[in-house]
Structure 1
Amino acid sequence: MDDGEKRRGDYIPLPVTEVPVSLPKATRRSRFFRLFVAFFSLLAFHYFIALPIAQHRAQFLASDPTAAHPHGKKHLWGKEAEKLFLSVPNEESAIAASRLFATKPHLAGSEGDLKTAKDWLAVLQNELGIEAGSEEPIFPAGSDDSRSATLSIPKTHKPKAWIDVYYPVMNTPLDRTLEVVNKDGEVVWSAELEEVVDETDPEAAEYYLSVPTFHGLSAAGDVQGKLIYANYGRKEDYDALVAKGVNFTGAVVIARYGAIFRGLKIQGAQELGAAGVLIYSDLRDDGPVTVENGYLPYPYGPARNLNSVQRGSVQFLSKYPGDPTTPGYAAYENITRTKGENIPKIPSIPISAANAATLLSLIELEDGAEVHLVNNVDTKITPIWNTMGVIPGYITDEVVVVGNHRDAWVMGAVDPSSGTASLHETIRGLGALLKQGWKPLRTIVIASWDAEEYGLIGSTEWVEDFPDFVRDHVVTYLNLDSSVSGARFGAAGSPSLAHFIRQAALDVPHPTKEGLTVWDAREDVGPFATGEVATDGLAFSTAIVDNAPDTSLGVSPMGSGSDFTPFLQWIGVASAEGGFVGTVGDAVYHYHSVFDSERWQELYADPGFSRHVAVAKYLGLKILRLSSGVVLPLNTTNYAYEIGSYLDGVEKLALTAEVDVDFTPLRKSINALQAASHSLDFEKAAAEKELRRIIHRLVRRKRTIKKKIHRVVCKIKKALGRPCHGGEDEEVRRHGYGHGRWFGGENKCHAVKHDEAAEEGKQLRSRHYRQSGANWAGHVHPHGSFNPTILSVLALDETADDAAYAEALGVPKLPKWPLAKLRKVAKRIRAVNQKLVSFERGFISEEGIPDREWYKHLVVAPGKWLGYGATPLPALSEAIELEKDEKLAKHEVGRLVNLIDALAERLRVHD
C-alpha cells in the first residue's frame, strides 16, 4: 500500500456497528432551539395572524344573529320572533286594558281624554323600555319639539314616545229641545232627549249625563217646520221625494241611521232648503234580535234599548276630513283659519227609537202640527292629544305606521276601546321582543289618534302637518278602530295588501273554534240568529254586504270613516284594517251610546275577550312581517288587475246612464300597468335570489375559514401531545351555522327560480290565479326573513363608503370580495321596494276629485253621497252616474290615462 492509499483509508467511515461518538454540546442545543422556535412561531401565527383574520372574516361572514345583545340577550327574527310574540297577548291583560280605558267618559278635548293620552304614554314607556323624563313630553303642534319628534324619526335609534297637541275647532252641547207644536202654537209633546238607564249597567248609570246626546260639529239653531220622513236620507231618497213634489223648504227632516254617513243625510236636506234634521235608530235595522221576536232589551237582554241614542259627527266627510277650519294644513293654536266648508249650516240632533216612534205617530194624528227643534252648542278651538311612539329599525327611513283612535263619544268599550285593548296586547308582544334583543328591519310608529269621532281630526292633522315625511318614509299604514263588536271577522285594505292580509288571518287560530282560523270567522254569525227580520231593514242588510268581501280574495276596498283616510286618500299610502263586527244573530250594538259599555262588551260582544286577543295577534303578525320582510309584501299585480275589474263596473254604469265614453285608451293603460307589474314581480324574485346567492357563498367561505383554523389548532394540539376532536361539522352542530342562521331558522325566503317565476307569471295573467289567494308577495314566505344584521346594509344610500358598510355590519373592516356584490343587491332591493311603495302614490292627483279636491286618489275614494263606502274610479264614476256629463267623463278618462301611464313607466324595470 502506498502512502496515498493509506491517506484514503484513514478516511474510510467506521462500520455502523460501531458506537458513534457524542455530538458536541452546542449542536444539541441548536436542535432544541429550532424545535422551540417552530412551536412558538406556530402558536404566534395562530393567535396573532390566523385567528384575528379568521375572526374578522367570520364576524362579517357570519353576522351571527345569536351574538350577544347589549343586554345579554340573543337577537330574534323570523319565525322565532313570531312565536315569542304570539305567546304574549292574553285575555286577562286585554280585559284589564279595556277596563282602564273604557269605564269612564273620554270625549275628545275633555280632561278624561287628556288622562287617557297620558295613560297610553305610560303604556308605551313601560312596554317599550322608554325612560320617563322629569317633564312630560307634551308638545304643542308646530313647536320645535313637536316637529323634531316626528322629523327626527329617521335618525332615531332607540324607542321614544311623546304627545302632540293640535287645536281644531270642535263643539259640545249646551241645550237641546224637541217638541211637537199644534196649529194653535201649543206644545203637545216634549221629548226626553237623554238616555234612560238603571243600575244594571253601573258605568252607564253613573255617566249617562256626562256627554249629552248631540251631533258633533252640528250647527246651532232654533227652527220650526213640518216634518218630512226621508227614509235613510240618501240622495236617491231625496230625489224620489222631490220627484213626488215634496217641498223641503223650511221643513224638519227625519231620517233613520244607516246606509250612508250621517253628515250626508244633513247635507242632502240642507241643499234642498230644509230647516233642520233629526236622525234616529230604527228597530227594523236590528235584524232578528228585537223585542218583537222575544228578546229582552239591554241591559236585561241582547235587544236594543229603545232609549239608546247614537251620537256622532255630522261633518260632510266626503268633502274633506279633519279640522273644518284648516283644510290641507295643520291646526296649530294660532293658525289662520277658514270658516269651515265641511260642516252643516242647519241644526240637527240624534234621537232614540222610542222618541222617533212617538214623534211620527203624533204628527200623523195632529193635523197641521209642526216640529220645534232647538240645538245650542259651544263651538270653539279645543286642544286634542295624539300620543305617538317609535320603535326604530335597521332601516330608519322606511316606516310602518300603526294607529288606533282613543277618543270616544262616552265610554266607548267597543268604539274605540276594543281596538285600544287589542293594540295594548300587540304592544306588549312587541315589548317582549325588544327585551329579547329583537329589532325590526323597518321603523315602526305607533299612533293613538285623538278626535277621530269628530271627523278623523287627530290623524288628519298629523298627516297634514308632516305630508313630506309621510310621503317620503311611510310604506304602509295599519289601522285598528273597533276590534270587536260581534262574531264575524272582516278585513279591508288596498288591493296590493289583499294576499298579505288574508295570509295573516290564516295564521291566527280561530278565537272560539278549534281547528279553524281567524279567516274562517268571516262566515260566523252570533248566538241569537232566530226570529223574523224586517223586509225594509236596508241598513242592516247593507251592513252585511259591507262586511262581505268585494272580491273573491275576501278583502274589501277602503273608502273612509276611519283614520286610514288621510294616509290612503291624501298621500297614497297602502293601508289595511280588520276586526270582528256584528252580524245576523249578534246582540244589538249600541253604537256611540252610553250603552257602548264595558258590561255590554264583556257580556255580549266578546265574553272572555278571546276575539280581542285574536285581533292583537293578527295585527302583530302584520306589523312583524311588514317591518321585517326584505321585499315589502305589496302585490301590485293583484292591484293592477283589480283596476281592470273597476273599469268593468264603470263601463256598466255608462251603459245604464246612457253616457257615451270611449274607454279604450284607459283599458290599454291598465293593460300596460299589468305588464309593468309583471316585470316588477320578476325583478323582486331575481333580486331576492341574488341576495340568497351571496349569502350562500358567504356561508361556504365561513366554513372554509373555520376548517383552516381547525387544522392549525389541531397541529398545535398534536405538538403538545393533546388529541384533536371534532371539526367544522361539529362546530356547525354546536353553533348552528348555516343557511338557517341567515334565513330565520327553518323559514326560508322562497327565491323563485327563473322557470318557476315564468310559470307564476303565466298564472298571474289569469284572473283565477289572481283571486286564488296564492302568496305572491315578493316570493317571500310570510314568516321568512334574512338575518337583520347583514340586511342593515339596506339602510345605506348610494353615497355610503366602505367604512359605513363596515359600521352597519358592526365590523372594523370589510373583506373586498362581497362589498361590491352587497352594494349592488342592496341598491337593487331598495329600488324594488321604492317601486312597490310608489304604486299607491301613483294614483294621487294634485287636482283631486271635482267638488272635493282634498280627496286626491283617483282609483278609490269614499263616494260623494256615501261617506263610508268605497267608490272605485270615483271621479270617473261620478261624472257618469251623478253628473251624466260626457265631456267631464272623457276628461276623467284622460286624467286616469296620464296617471296610469306615468306609473307604469316608473314601475317598469329597465335592463
Structure 2
Amino acid sequence: MIVPIIASCLILCALPITQRIPPSLTGVPKSKSKFSRKQYLVLVVIVGLETGLGSWNSWRQYQELVAERLGKSHHLFGKRAEEAFLSIPNGPSSMGASRAYATKPHMAGTVGDLATAREFLELLQRELGISDVHPEDVVFKAGSAESQRATRSVSKANKPHAWIDTYYPVMNTPRDRILEIVDDDGKSLIRTSLVEFSDPTDPDASKYNDDVPTFHGLSRGGDVTGPLVDGNYCTYEDYQQLVQSKIEVNGSIVLCRYGGIFRGLKVKGGQELGAVGILIYSDPRDDGSVTNANGYPSYPYGPARNPTSVQRGSVQYLSVYPGDPTTPGYPSYENSTRTEGENIPKIPSLPISWTNFNVVSTTLTKGHKFEGKRVRLLNNVDTRVIPIWNTLGVIPGYIKDEVVVVGNHRDGNVMGAADPSSGTASVHEVVRGLGHLLRNGWKPLRTILIASWDAEEYGLIGSTEWGEDFKDWVDAHVVAYLNLDSSVSGSRLRASGSPLLAHFIRATAEELPHPTESGRTLWDATTDDGKLFGLHGDNMISQAVRSIHEMQYTAVDSIGVSPLGSGSDYTVFLQRSGIPCTNGGFGATLNDPVYHYHSIFDSERWQELWADPGFFRHVAVSKHLGLQTLRLASSPILPFNATHYAYELETYLQSVENLAFTGSLAVNFESLRASIKSLQNASVALEEEKLDVHKDLRKLLKKWKKQHSKLRRLKKKARKVLCRIRKALGKKCSQVGMLLHEDPDGDLKLAKLEPFDLSHQYRHKFPITKLRKVVKRIREANKKSAAIEKGFISEDGIKDREWYKHLAVAPGKWLGYGATTFPALSEAIQFEKNATLAQLEVARLESLIDQIVGKINV
C-alpha cells in the first residue's frame, strides 16, 4: 500500500531544515524533532532500495519483509519513540541502580567487579528480550572464536544478543605501604596512617574504609628515602620552575598537589628529573569556597573535605598510550606476547591525604623539629596478569553495517558512587528506555551496541583492548561513539565531543528541561555554579586555584563544547579510528559540595545527600544520552556538522601561531591556512548538498503523493463499502488498512494490506530509479561527512607517542586529561622548540587536510 509513503511527504515537508541538518556555519538549531511513523517507513524503504532491489520479484520480497516487521499498528517510530523513551528514566529507578552498584567495592579484576559485569549482562538480557541464553554460556575469552563471532556478528545480527568478553591485562594490587619521617640513621621518627577514616555516619565508607587500600594503580613498587621537595601541582611548568630555581630534584621525593594534569604525568615529570619517589596529596585549598576555613564541616557531617580522604587512581603515562602497558597496539589475550611496558613509572609513588601532608610537610617547615629530615616511602604492589570483563549487548537496526556505540565504564576505585556508578545508573535507565521501545515494536534504523567497559580506572584498559582487538571492524562499521563516565558529581553540565557533533550535543540538550529549575533547559546547566559560597563569598578562592581548575574544564569550542583529550573510554575510538565521539555529565564547581574523587567517601550516601538528592541530574543525563542515541541511530542524514569542524580548525591554527610567536619560532603557516580555507569551502558545499538531497527526496514524495491521491480516496471509499457489506453479513470490520480479497472457498474476507503494496498497473509510476539516486546521494553525503574525522588519522602518529594517530586533537603531552589541538605541531613548537620539525608538521597537516578536501568535494 502506498498510503504510508504518500502521507509521509506531509511530515517531511513540515520538518524544519535546521532540525535535519545542523547549520553550516553558526547558530544552534532550536526547533524540536517532528519525526513520525510514516516518515520512518520512508527510511526503511530507502534502506531496502539501497541494499539491492533489482527486480519486481525482489521488490515483492521486500514488501513481505516490511509487512512482517512494520505492519503492526503499535510500531513506534521517530517522535513517538522519543516521547516514549523520555517517559521511562526516573529518579527511583536510577537510585535503585546506583545502590546496586555503589554500595560495594568493585575494583577491576575483583570478585565484586565480576559480579557487576554479570549484573549488567542480566540487565541487557532482560531489557533487550534475550531469554534463550544462559548467562554462563556467553562469557568468552578474548581472542576465542566465540568472542570474535560475538562482536563481528553485530553488523549482521537479526536479533538482540549480549555477552561478556574476558581480557587479560597486566595490572597490580596493593600490599604494604609506609610513609614516615626518618632520622639520619634511617630510624623512624613519626609514621602517618595511610588509611581513610570514617565512622558509621556513612555506613558504606565505614564498612569498606580499607577494602581497597590507598595506592596508585600501575605504580612501581619500591622502598625509597630522600629529602622532600615541594613541586606545587607538578605540572611541566612547575618542574621547569624547580630547575630554574636550582632546587635539587635528583634523589628527592617530590610532594605534588592534585589538580591541573593527569596524576601519572606528575610522576613522569619527577622521574625525568631524577626523583626517587612521588607523593600526591589532596589540598582543601583546591576545594573552592567549601572548606572548614569557610565555615563548613567535613564530610560525613557536612559538605567539606574529609581530611583523611585520598584520591586513588592510575599513574600510567596516559599521554604516551592507554590500555594494558604490556600490549601496546594489540589486545591482551591470555597468551599474548608482552613487553615491559613503556607507559608506566619506574619510581614508586603514593597518594596521600591532607592529614598525611600535614605530617610530612613539617620537614619543609622552618623551625620545626623535623625540618630537613628525610622521608621514607614504601610501596609494595603485586603486579600480575588479572582478568577483566567487558559486557556488551546489541540492538540490530535495519542498516546493519552502520553501528552507534554507547559506552560507560563499570569498575570503580572503591564504591565509586559518582565515578563511575552515576554513569552506570544513567546508562541503566537508557537501557530500560530502549527495552521499553523494543517491547512496543520499535527498531532503530542503525544498529546500537551498548558497552560496559572494565578496568578504565587502571588506564582505559577494557575499551582500549577491545578497540585494538576489533579495530578493522570499528573502522568499517562504527559511525559514532557516545561515552558516559561519571554522570553526576556536581551541579554544572560539562559537554565535550568532536566538532562534527558539537551542534548536535548542544541542540539535544536545549530540547530537554533543566533537572532542578523550571523555565531553563538542560544546556543552561552549563553555566550553573553551585550554591555554597561560605561566609566570605568566593573571595576565599585564589586566582591560582581558579586557573588550575579551569585548566581541566575550559571549553575552547565556539559554541561551548570542549574538544576531547583523554581520560575516558572514547580515546581508542577517536584516536585510533577517527570515530566522532561525545562525552558529558555534571561535574563539581568550586561552590559545590566537595567531591571526594576516587575515595571511600565517593559513596552512595554522599551522592544521595549532597551531589544529587532525588537523582534529577542522573535522569537528565539519561534522557540526553538516550535522545542522542535515538537520533544518531534513526536519522537518515547523520547529524555531522562539517562546516563547524572546518571553521574550528581556524581557531586551532591561531593557537599554534600564538605559540610560535611567544616562543620566537619562525614557522610559515600560510600553506596550512590555505588548506583550511579549501576545507571550509568544501564543507559548505557538502552541507548544501545535504540540504539539496533532502529537498529532492521531499519533492519526489510530494509529486508521488499527488499522482496517487485519487487512488487513495477511491480505496478509502472501497474500504467503507466493504465494511458495510461485512457488517451486513454479521462480520466484524474494525481494522484500518484492509482490502477485499477472495479466499480459496470463494468467501469475501478482509486481508491486511501489505505496506507499500503496488498493484501491477501502478508499478510504472513508482519512482524507483529516482529514489535510488536520492538514497545514493544520502549515503554518499554521510560518508563524506565522516571522512573529516577519519581524515585526521595519520598512521605515523604523534612524535614520541605514536599510539596516538589523530593530528587534529589529542591529549596534551603534559596534560593527559586535557586536549591539545594540532598536537604534533603544537608540541614541535612548545616542547621541542624546533622550527624545522614544526614546518614538517605543518606539511603533514596540510597534506591530510588536502586529502580530506578531495574526499568530501561534491
When normalised by structure 2's length, the TM-score is 0.87
Instruction: Compute the displacement of 1:537 (Å).
Output: 6.6
Q: Where do residues 15-164 of structure 1 align in structure 2 (5 Å cutoff)?
A: 74-134=74-134, 135-164=136-165
Secondary structure in structure 1 of the residue aligned to 2:488? coil
CA, structure 1 residues 132+302, in 2 after alignment: closer, same or farther (shift >3 Å)? farther
Secondary structure in structure 1 of the residue aligned to 2:590? coil
Question: What residue number does 1:868 align with?
Answer: 817
Q: Where do residues 370-519 of structure 1 align in structure 2 (5 Å cutoff)?
A: 370-519=374-523
Q: Which amino acid aligns with 1:215?
A: H
Q: Which amino acid aligns with 2:118?
A: K
Match of residue 900, structure 1, among 849, 853, 856: 849
CA, structure 1 residues 712+223, in 2 after alignment: closer, same or farther (shift >3 Å)? closer
Secondary structure in structure 2 of the residue aligned to 1:295? coil
Q: Which amino acid aligns with 2:412?
A: A
For the pair 1:691 / 2:697, whether they are aligned, the reply is: yes
My pick for the range that moved more, 711-720 or 155-164, is: 711-720
Cα distance between partner residues in 1 of 2:755 and 2:272? 61
Q: Is the 8 A contact 1:60 1:811 kept in 2?
A: no
Spell out, residue by residue over 1:872-903, the C-alpha distance to the aligned partner (whole angstroms, 9 max, x if none). 10100111111110000000000001000000
CA, structure 1 residues 812+371, in 2 after alignment: closer, same or farther (shift >3 Å)? farther
Q: Where do residues 162-201 of structure 1 align in structure 2 (5 Å cutoff)?
A: 162-201=163-202
Question: What residue number does 2:331 align with?
Answer: 330
Instruction: Compute the displacement of 1:812 (Å).
Output: 11
Match of residue 582, structure 2, among 576, 587, 590: 576
Q: Is the 8 A contact 2:426 2:618 kept in 1?
A: yes
Instruction: Compute the displacement of 1:714 (Å).
Output: 9.1
Q: Which amino acid aligns with 1:506?
A: E
Q: Which amino acid aligns with 2:784?
A: K
Q: Is the 8 A contact 1:470 1:571 kept in 2?
A: yes
Instruction: Compute the displacement of 1:387 (Å).
Output: 0.2
Cα distance between partner residues in 1 of 2:602 and 2:480? 31
Instruction: Compute the displacement of 1:237 (Å).
Output: 0.6
Q: Which amino acid aligns with 1:692?
A: R
Cα distance between partner residues in 1 of 2:715 and 2:590? 69
CA, structure 1 residues 305+715, in 2 after alignment: closer, same or farther (shift >3 Å)? closer
Secondary structure in structure 2 of the residue aligned to 1:292? coil
Instruction: Compute the displacement of 1:185 (Å).
Output: 2.9
Q: Where do residues 196-207 of structure 1 align in structure 2 (5 Å cutoff)?
A: 196-207=197-208
Spell out, residue by residue over 1:806-854, the C-alpha distance to the aligned partner (whole angstroms, 9 max, x if none). x997999993442212222221111111111111000000000000000
Cα distance between partner residues in 2 of 1:71 and 1:162? 31
Instruction: Compute the displacement of 1:527 (Å).
Output: 2.4
Spell out, residue by residue over 1:207-233, the C-alpha distance to the aligned partner (whole angstroms, 9 max, x if none). 111100000000011111111110001
Cα distance between partner residues in 2 of 1:108 and 1:501? 31
Instruction: Compute the displacement of 1:686 (Å).
Output: 1.5
Secondary structure in structure 2 of the residue aligned to 1:815? helix
Match of residue 792, structure 2, among 840, 843, 863: 843
Q: Where do residues 523-542 of structure 1 align in structure 2 (5 Å cutoff)?
A: 523-530=527-534, 531=536, 536=542, 538-542=544-548
My pick for the range that moved more, 304-313 or 71-80, is: 71-80
Q: Which runs of 5+ in 2 are unaligned?
A: 1-55, 729-733, 739-753
My pick for the range that moved more, 286-295 or 549-558, is: 549-558
My pick for the range that moved more, 131-140 or 232-241, is: 131-140
Q: Is the 8 A contact 2:288 2:545 kept in 1?
A: no
For the pair 1:673 / 2:679, whether they are aligned, the reply is: yes
My pick for the range that moved more, 340-349 or 75-84, is: 75-84
CA, structure 1 residues 713+597, in 2 after alignment: closer, same or farther (shift >3 Å)? closer
Q: Which amino acid aligns with 2:499?
A: P
Question: What residue number does 1:647 align with?
Answer: 653
CA, structure 1 residues 716+211, in 2 after alignment: closer, same or farther (shift >3 Å)? closer
Instruction: Compute the displacement of 1:363 (Å).
Output: 4.2
Q: Is the 8 A contact 1:544 1:583 kept in 2?
A: no
Cα distance between partner residues in 2 of 1:661 and 1:281? 41
Spell out, residue by residue over 1:289-335, the C-alpha distance to the aligned partner (whole angstroms, 9 max, x if none). 00111100000000000000000000000000000000000000101
Match of residue 880, structure 1, among 823, 829, 835: 829
Cα distance between partner residues in 2 of 1:546 and 1:348? 23
Secondary structure in structure 1 of the residue aligned to 2:472? helix
Cα distance between partner residues in 1 of 2:657 and 2:263? 30
My pick for the range that moved more, 531-540 or 513-522, is: 531-540
Question: What residue number does 1:889 align with?
Answer: 838
Q: Where do residues 543-558 of structure 1 align in structure 2 (5 Å cutoff)?
A: 543-544=549-550, 546-558=552-564
Spell out, residue by residue over 1:239-282, the C-alpha distance to the aligned partner (whole angstroms, 9 max, x if none). 11111112212111110000100000000000011100000001
Q: Is the 8 A contact 2:415 2:602 kept in 1?
A: yes
Question: What residue number does 1:261 align with?
Answer: 262
Secondary structure in structure 1 of the residue aligned to 2:679? helix
Match of residue 815, structure 1, among 745, 753, 763: 763
Cα distance between partner residues in 2 of 1:272 and 1:323? 26
Question: What residue number does 2:19 align with?
Answer: none
CA, structure 1 residues 166+539, in 2 after alignment: closer, same or farther (shift >3 Å)? farther
Spell out, residue by residue over 1:463-490, the C-alpha distance to the aligned partner (whole angstroms, 9 max, x if none). 1000111111111110000000111111
Cα distance between partner residues in 1 of 2:114 and 2:324? 19
Cα distance between partner residues in 1 of 2:331 and 2:407? 18
Q: Is the 8 A contact 2:530 2:591 kept in 1?
A: yes
Spell out, residue by residue over 1:174-213, the C-alpha distance to the aligned partner (whole angstroms, 9 max, x if none). 1011110122432111010010111000001111111000
Q: Which amino acid aligns with 1:554?
A: G
Q: Which amino acid aligns with 1:520?
A: D
Instruction: Compute the displacement of 1:525 (Å).
Output: 2.0
Cα distance between partner residues in 2 of 1:674 and 1:216? 44
Question: What residue number does 1:743 align with?
Answer: none
Q: Where do residues 623-634 of structure 1 align in structure 2 (5 Å cutoff)?
A: 623-634=629-640
CA, structure 1 residues 239+130, in 2 after alignment: closer, same or farther (shift >3 Å)? same
How many residue pairs match? The answer is: 776
Cα distance between partner residues in 2 of 1:443 and 1:323? 29
Q: Which runs of 5+ in 1 are unaligned?
A: 1-55, 723-730, 737-806
Cα distance between partner residues in 1 of 2:725 and 2:305? 89
Greater gyration radius: 1
User: Alignment identity in percent?
Assistant: 56
Cα distance between partner residues in 1 of 2:186 and 2:129? 67
CA, structure 1 residues 810+375, in 2 after alignment: closer, same or farther (shift >3 Å)? farther
Instruction: Compute the displacement of 1:157 (Å).
Output: 1.2
CA, structure 1 residues 272+811, in 2 after alignment: closer, same or farther (shift >3 Å)? farther
My pick for the range that moved more, 340-349 or 186-195, is: 186-195
Secondary structure in structure 2 of the residue aligned to 1:189? strand
Question: What residue number does 1:10 align with?
Answer: none
Instruction: Compute the displacement of 1:702 (Å).
Output: 4.1
Q: Which amino acid aligns with 1:580?
A: F
Cα distance between partner residues in 1 of 2:716 and 2:602? 69
Match of residue 661, structure 1, among 662, 667, 691: 667
Spell out, residue by residue over 1:710-731, the C-alpha distance to the aligned partner (whole angstroms, 9 max, x if none). 67789999999x9xxxxxxxx9
Q: Which amino acid aligns with 1:501?
A: I
Cα distance between partner residues in 2 of 1:470 and 1:507? 30
For the pair 1:602 / 2:608, whether they are aligned, the reply is: yes
For the pair 1:310 / 2:311, whether they are aligned, the reply is: yes
Q: Is the 8 A contact 1:65 1:76 kept in 2?
A: no
Q: Is the 8 A contact 1:284 1:537 kept in 2?
A: no
Cα distance between partner residues in 2 of 1:255 and 1:343? 18
Secondary structure in structure 2 of the residue aligned to 1:414? coil
CA, structure 1 residues 455+648, in 2 after alignment: closer, same or farther (shift >3 Å)? same
Q: Which amino acid aligns with 2:450?
A: I
My pick for the range that moved more, 696-705 or 125-134, is: 696-705
Cα RMSD, aligned residues only: 2.8
Q: Is the 8 A contact 2:522 2:620 kept in 1?
A: yes
CA, structure 1 residues 375+132, in 2 after alignment: closer, same or farther (shift >3 Å)? farther
